[in-house]
Amino acid sequence: MTENQPGLPDKRGHFGEFGGQFVSETLMHALDELQQAYGHWRKDEEFVQRMDEDLANYVGRPSPIYYAQRYSEAAAGAKIYLKREDLNHTGAHKINNTMGQGLLARYMGKKRVIAETGAGQHGVATATVAARLNQSCRVYMGDVDIQRQAINVFRMRLLGAEVTGVSAGSATLKDALNEAMRDWVGNVDDTFYIIGTVAGPHPYPEMVRDFNAVVGREARRQMLKLCDSLPDALVACVGGGSNAMGLFHPFLEDKNVKMFGVEAAGHGLESGQHAASLCAGRPGVLHGCRTYLLDDDAGQIRHTHSISAGLDYPGVGPEHAWLKETGRADYVAVTDEEALRAFHQLTRLEGIMPALESSHALAYGFKLAAGMRPDQRVLINLSGRGDKDVQTVAEIEGLSL
Amino acid sequence: MSQRIADCFELAKKAGRKVLIPFITAGDPDPGWTVAVMHALAGAGADLIELGVPFSDPMADGPVIQLASERAIEKHVTLGTVLEMVKLFRQTDTDTPVVLMGYMNPVERYGNKRFPDHATIAGVDGLLLVDCPPQERDDLGVAMNDVGLDGICLVTPTTTRERVKDIAGVANGFIYYVSLKGITGAGQLDSSELREPIQQIREFSQLPVAVGFGIKNAEMAVNVAAHSDAVVMGSALVEALSVAKNSEEACSVATAFVAPVRESLDNMG
């Protein structure tokens, strides 16, 4: 479970100039309440034990580290290892966080949970936990995403969640987040908002990071055991950035471990049709925090594009903005085409079908490894499995299933 | 501190009159009509005008104002355009205070130091940023104080007593009490629930108190005004305006909306 993390954010939730609480006054009390509850329960023995048990017996942790031999051979450079978050219950890292927040909601006496979702992975992970904890659950999802992730929508409904389509704006993740925020403002007394990424107002970026940091803690231990040394580089995809932050955070003090966050370059950064807020954006305020974002000269948030719904978001977690600013992590971007190629390559070489989100990390990790020495190691976070994307991939290839 | 806002409330107080604050989204339904509509509102008895600055992701707004924002953005309305509108309005109306209401990112993009300066030159009197509570204002807050642009603060049913005290310490112009837990245009407002929270605000602040969110007609306005110094009406007016076909029609809709509310407020006794 969560350890008492030193350092950032500060008391007001700032990572340097990033983060904070940019929300309407109605939510200020709810955020204070959440901050206090999280501060209390994270140190509570019973809560921690319950969380650890659930992560082990329900989620299936620890997830293995897998040496991808054939994928490494194809890269012909450093050895490539995969952190298998795709093997978690519900098929992605998202459950680490929803398990934590769902349990916190229960300890806080909130009987209703809401969530936003892009690819549907966070929605499914929330609906799953809500089913188990007997909480009523509503998930907001952009109409465009509902189209491209039909299977996940059905999964959520099977789990008893109400899925509400959002047609405003670009009808994707950012608009779903707006709508969830509106719901929360109106139902703040009995509702817990389970945010799915390390963005949003304080304490979400910190809390979601802490719940996902189990990924990095395990990986650190596993690599030491397996290879007697830490990896030379970590690679993870970044939409909002929760799987990347979960992997990176426990390694922040290991100065020899390089970190690469991989954003979605969509049709290419120069095309303007991408979702790479760190690579091509600038600081601003969105969804409760100051962070890097994609906007126009008037400050209107731009519509983004990525083949992967989970990365299709115009902002990013404020701690990533901070890691970029301080130079601790590097942020790069790969295109739809490169990600798709990685999707096929890993599937054929290793018999592992990655999520299109994770395929971005794979594409960059492969390039990175190719330029490294054979005695070096790259650890890629395989954040989710690709079953949900089969339809999308088939359509791109002109097939109907 | 804005003299226009202070004078507006002072005059109203002397005359025993409730301050009526209509809200419209700048540039909706058409950017060319906004200034005329502002004059119509003032002519029909509005004391202060709240002008919504369109934003692509208006988290605190209900569907009516969201759609108005989207329409205005489609017509290329920016924060700069809004300042031009106020400048134009000021050519013939130098008394009616104008408060801009919107979200942080367009202001930050314009420039936290530059914006307050340009806004006051254009004739803006106050700024209400829904997603920027007082403790996050930093350099923007300093720049606003320097030029006397009022930072209008929100207090809501969930604001704790301690926080009301903090907010009272930094607010200027007037305090905007959000009458319900929810987004603009939502829910049912029970005006009997206003007494206590407004009393609490008055304990800590000498500033006038305006109440808004969910006030849809003259009757509700009167019930609310029994507890407050001012009432804000937004979504219902924005919705009425949205069907106007031209500037003249928009102005008559505005007049027809405000005049009866004015009359009811003046006959409260």
Domains of chain A, by residue range, sit at 14-56+94-208, 61-91+213-396
- CATH number, domain of B100, equals 3.20.20.70
Question: A11 touching B, CB under 8 A?
Answer: no
Question: A202 touching B, CB under 8 A?
Answer: no
- Interface residues on B facing A, Cβ-Cβ cutoff 8 A: 54-63, 66, 70, 73, 78-80, 103-110, 130-133, 135-136, 153-160, 163, 178, 181-183, 186-187
Mutate to test the interface with A, among B59, B66, B78, B130 (most CBs of A within 10 A): B59
CATH architecture of A14-56+94-208: 3-Layer(aba) Sandwich (3.40)
Domain that holds residue B135: 3-151+230-263
pLDDT at position B1 is 83
Q: How confident is the model at residue A48 (pLDDT cuts 50, 70, 90)?
A: very high
Which of B57, B63, B156 lies nearest to residue A174, judging by beta carbons?
A: B57
Note whether residue B191 is domain-resident.
no
End-to-end CA distance of chain B: 31
Q: What is the Rg, in whole angstroms, of the alpha carbon atoms belonging to chain A? A: 19
- Give pLDDT tens digits for B226-265: 999 999 999 999 999 999 999 999 999 999 999 999 999 9
- Give pLDDT tens digits for A133-162: 999 999 999 998 898 788 899 999 999 999
Query: What is the distance in angstroms between the Cα of B170 and the nearest Cα belonging to chain A?
Result: 14
Greater model confidence, B190 or A392: A392
Question: A169 touching B, CB under 8 A?
Answer: yes
Question: A167 touching B, CB under 8 A?
Answer: no
Question: In the predicted model, is pLDDT for residue A198 greater than 50?
Answer: yes
Active site residue A174: no
Q: Which residues of chain B have pLDDT under 50?
A: none
Q: Report CB contact under 8 Å: B105, A181.
A: no
Q: Report CB contact under 8 Å: A23, B131.
A: yes
CA–CA dist B76, B60 (Å, integer): 22
C-alpha separations of A18 from A183, A200, A288, B80, B136 in Å: 25, 11, 11, 26, 11
Q: How confident is the model at residue A6 (pLDDT cuts 50, 70, 90)?
A: low
Query: What is the distance in angstroms between the Cα of B185 and the nearest Cα belonging to chain A?
Result: 11
User: Where does chain B show beta strands of DSSP type E?
Assistant: 19-25, 49-52, 98-102, 126-129, 150-151, 153-155, 175-178, 209-212, 230-233
Question: In the predicted model, is pLDDT for residue A87 greater than 90?
Answer: yes
CATH number of A61-91+213-396: 3.40.50.1100
The single residue of A72, A242, A306, A383 carrying the catalytic annotation is: A383
Which of B106, B159, B181 lies nearest to residue A186, judging by beta carbons?
A: B181
The domain total for chain B is 1
From chain A, the residues in CB contact with B182 under 8 A are: 26, 185-186
SS3 label, residue A138: strand
Residue-averaged pLDDT of chain A: 95
From chain A, the residues in CB contact with B135 under 8 A are: 12, 21
Question: In the predicted model, is pLDDT for residue A265 greater than 50?
Answer: yes
pLDDT at position A391 is 87
pLDDT at position A1 is 40
Give me the mean pLDDT over the A69-82 stretch: 98
pLDDT at position A315 is 97
Give me the mean pLDDT over the A244-268 stretch: 98
Question: A16 touching B, CB under 8 A?
Answer: no
Give me the mean pLDDT over the A352-374 stretch: 98
Phi, psi of A284 (to 5 degrees): -165, -165
Note whether residue B81 is domain-resident.
yes
Q: Report CB contact under 8 Å: A182, B60.
A: yes
CA–CA dist A263, B252 (Å, integer): 51
Query: Cβ distance A136 to A130 under 8 Å?
Result: yes
Note whether residue B106 is domain-resident.
yes
Question: A182 touching B, CB under 8 A?
Answer: yes
Note whether residue B203 is domain-resident.
no
SS3 label, residue B16: coil
Note whether residue B118 is domain-resident.
yes
